[in-house]
């Protein structure tokens, strides 16, 4: 993990950050709530994370890189269950009160303490391989749409379709989400369209693995496979495509803590795009920036759908235009 000294606030957040930015979209509690009693929202979200434990345990059991993986997977399940049960009784325990960032961080912490670094690697590698083989056809289909507006609409639809796999001369920052179809068949065709229009694009990805989210090393490897010998993305010059390590290690993101590299590359951006349910909906849906922004993702939790007044698998595309002083 990045040390505190290496992490800085995302430079395009509206200032003062303390009074304008709250990473978590859904408030689990309010100041008037009893700090020693869990709220109904906290109980519901603790339950959601508790229900995910069997699937994480199953992934961990099959991790061939970790010795005694089944036994360690069992320890993970028990430790994380105990933590969640503690928080259900005592919300202030384990660094609480809980929110989606803390619940994700505690899960990753337990996995890493037991030696698990990337329990979804096999699934990611398989999905990346399939998506890379389909990339040329997806690009061809989009390029065949002559109307620029309709082509952009189709590219956005592709992002939504790719986001199902969950387990921006302007400069654009796109915070990418999951491996496989999400980034390769959703984000990359969209980024390629921006490049074709003369836009510089920065794609930040996670520093460390978390669920099936793509990491910086994986993104670098994938882009090298998609480019040809001239460094083009199927006929489009990719010299203005930059890959950045966000410094993040979770499937959600707190923009008060990003890498210095990302802060430097993004300081003069004209558009910020946060893609995926974790980064664009569960966190940062209401984040305000010193430039235009888009939050895009698919709702894949009942609790999120209920909060937004929508349905499971609804699509969110939230555009905020920056009105300068």
- Structural domains in the chain, sorted by start: 31-114 (1.20.1700.10), 129-320 (3.40.50.10880)
Residue 107 burial by CB count (10 A; 0-12/13-18/19+): exposed, middle or buried? buried
- pLDDT of 212 reads 87
| Among 16, 3, 87, residue whose Cα is nearest residue 48 | 87
Q: What is the pLDDT of residue 2?
A: 46
Pick the range with the lowest mean pLDDT from 28-42, 61-75, 79-93, 163-177. Answer: 163-177
Would you state the pLDDT for residue 174?
Answer: 82
Is residue 11 a contact partner of residue 266, using CB atoms and an 8 Å limit?
yes
Residues above pLDDT 90, as percent of the chain: 88
Task: Please tell me the predicted confidence (pLDDT) of residue 49.
Answer: 95
Q: Evaluate if residue 251 carries a pLDDT over 80.
A: yes
Residue with tokens 């009160």, as numbered in its chain: 97
pLDDT tens digits for range 42-82: 999 999 999 999 999 999 999 999 999 999 999 999 999 99
Q: Is the pLDDT of residue 324 over 80?
A: no
96: left (phi over 0), alpha (psi -120 to 50) or beta: beta
Q: Which residues contact 88 (CB under 8 A, 6 or more apart)?
A: 38, 42, 43, 46
CA pair distance 176, 120, nearest whole angstrom = 17
pLDDT at residue 178 tops 80: no
Return the number of other C-beta atoms located less than 10 Å from residue 90's C-beta: 15
Q: Does residue 168 have a pLDDT over 50?
A: no
pLDDT reading at 170 higher than 50: no
């Amino acid at each position: 993990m990045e040390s505190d000294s290496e992490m800085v606030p995302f430079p395009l957040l509206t200032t003062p950050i303390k009074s304008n930015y709250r990473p978590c979209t859904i408030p689990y509690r309010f100041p008037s709530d009893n700090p020693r009693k869990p709220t109904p929202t906290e109980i519901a979200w603790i339950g959601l994370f508790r229900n995910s434990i069997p699937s994480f345990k199953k992934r961990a059991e099959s991790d061939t890189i970790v010795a005694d993986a089944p036994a360690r997977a069992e320890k993970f399940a028990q430790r994380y269950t105990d933590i969640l049960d503690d928080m259900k009784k005592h919300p202030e325990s384990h660094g609480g009160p809980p929110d989606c960032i803390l619940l994700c961080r505690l899960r990753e912490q337990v996995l890493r303490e037991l030696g698990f670094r990337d329990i979804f690697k096999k699934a990611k590698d398989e999905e990346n391989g399939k998506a890379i083989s389909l990339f040329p056809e997806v690009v061809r289909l989009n390029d065949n749409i002559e109307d620029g507006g309709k082509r952009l609409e189709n590219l956005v639809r592709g992002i939504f379709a790719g986001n199902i796999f969950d387990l921006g001369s302007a400069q654009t920052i796109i915070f990418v989400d999951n491996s496989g179809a999400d980034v390769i068949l959703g984000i990359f065709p969209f980024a390629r369209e921006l490049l074709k229009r003369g836009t510089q694009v920065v794609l930040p990805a996670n520093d460390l693995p978390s669920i099936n989210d793509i990491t910086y090393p994986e993104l670098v490897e994938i882009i090298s496979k998609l480019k040809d010998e001239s460094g083009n993305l199927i006929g489009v010059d990719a010299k203005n495509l930059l890959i950045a390590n966000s410094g993040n290690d979770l499937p959600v993101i707190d923009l008060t803590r990003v890498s210095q590299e990302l802060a430097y590359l993004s300081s003069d951006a004209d558009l910020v795009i946060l893609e995926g349910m974790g980064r664009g909906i569960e966190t940062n849906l209401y984040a305000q920036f010193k430039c235009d922004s888009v939050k895009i993702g698919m709702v894949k939790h009942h609790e999120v759908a209920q909060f937004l007044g929508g349905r499971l698998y609804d699509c969110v595309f939230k555009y905020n235009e920056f009105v300068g002083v």
